[in-house]
Homo-oligomer: A and B are copies of this chain.
Amino acid sequence: MMRLHTHPASPFGRKVLVAAHELGLAAEIKVEHRKVSPVEPHPEVVADNPLGKLPTLVREDGTPLVDSRVICEYLDARAGGGRLHPEEPELRWRALMLQALADGMMEASVLARYETVLRPEALRWPAWLEHQKRKVARTLDRIEQQAQDLDPEAVHIGLIALACALGYLDFRFAEDGWRQGRPRLAAWFERFRTRPAMQATLPRDLVA
């Protein structure tokens, strides 16, 4: 049995779990929810990942794998290879590029969340928060313009990452209304989010 250190609110952790579900590997992963704070490391996570970050996968032989991109590629290979990471070069670069944009939106969103929730109120910097949010908005706009990437039949790592980024925006920044002015992205997500892999991994906070 593999073990996954993660948290049900983490968009990167969700990406790994959606990939595992899509690949039929979810039953081989024991999920261990860890409450980590970016200013207080979790000893059991640190034992496997010195960065202290989630998600961290631990293989049956005890070897850890980080981060979410590496874990997803590992799971794909374990399921036979090439299902979520296309092997045909141009399809591969498009999927990996979309994943990079989605990961970048998640990173910016998580930094925005830290700035509004974690950092002591007197030390918050509005320009930083604003800039993180604008990164996300520009990237959403670009994907909306290039909606040929949003093949309603396709499932690959770029689309999984995008769906997790959008799900995180709904979870933490619903008031920003990302669907506004982006009808193609909204329509694509409306369909993708009904996939069993997405429904099985809805973000939530851990109750103490």
The residues of A with any CB-CB pair to B shorter than 8 Å are: 38-41, 46, 50-53, 63-67, 69-70, 73-74, 77, 89, 93, 96-97, 99-101, 103-105, 108, 119-120, 122-125, 127-128, 130-131, 134-135, 138-139, 141-142
28 A–B contacts, CB within 8 A, in A order: A38-B128, A39-B127, A39-B130, A40-B131, A50-B135, A50-B139, A51-B101, A51-B104, A51-B105, A51-B135, A52-B135, A53-B104, A63-B93, A64-B97, A66-B97, A66-B100, A66-B104, A67-B103, A67-B104, A70-B93, A70-B100, A73-B96, A74-B93, A77-B89, A120-B125, A122-B123, A123-B123, A123-B125
Per the bound structure, the CA–CA distance linking A67 and B100 in Å amounts to 6
Q: Look across to chain B and name the residue whose beta carbon is closest to the beta carbon of A59.
A: B93
Q: Look across to chain B and name the residue whose beta carbon is closest to the beta carbon of A68.
A: B100
A97 in contact with B70 (CB, 8 Å): yes
- Copies of this chain, complex-wide, total 2
A112 smallest CB distance to B (angstroms):
12
B142 in contact with A50 (CB, 8 Å): yes
